[in-house]
Amino acid sequence: MTEELCKVHEKLTEPPPEIEATLAVLAGKWKILILWQLMRRECRFNELRRAIKGVSQHMLTTQLRDLERHGIITRTVFPEVPPRVEYALTEHGESLKSVIRTLAGWGHQHMKRQTALRPAPRRKVTAR
């Protein structure tokens, strides 16, 4: 049998625990977008909310708490009035920078490919 034919008959297995662990941390619509902003600099809650179009206050809060629980970001509350809270990547979160940049690079190539595959727009023909 050729290698390709062997692959057809290869039994599928469950994803490895490493993939499941990664998805447990990064899955969801907003987490990568949050991390992309925090890769640039520390941010306050409302800065993140303005930068990430479409995220609700509740969802942003939930996603930030989840990333903090996983040790990816820190939440620092400053003893000021009014209170100031900033979010930043931890050292563990910093290790995701290359992963996120790789995803962005893949997304760039994917967008170019999708654009190339789209049929050219049809020109409207009008009668004289």
The answer to whether residue 91 is domain-embedded is yes
Say what the pTM is. 0.78
Domains in the chain: how many in total? 1
Structure confidence by residue, pLDDT tens digits, 26-35:
998 999 999 9
Tell me which residue range forms the domain holding 52. Answer: 15-113
Task: Give the separation between CA 52 and CA 120, rounded to whole angstroms.
Answer: 32
- To which residue do tokens 């990568």 refer? 32
- Residue 39 has a pLDDT of 96
82 within domain boundaries: yes
Q: What pLDDT digit, counting tens, does each position of 91-128 carry?
A: 999 999 999 999 999 999 999 888 887 776 677 767 66
CATH classification at residue 52: 1.10.10.10
Within a domain: residue 41? yes
Looking at the domain assignment, is residue 123 inside a domain? Answer: no
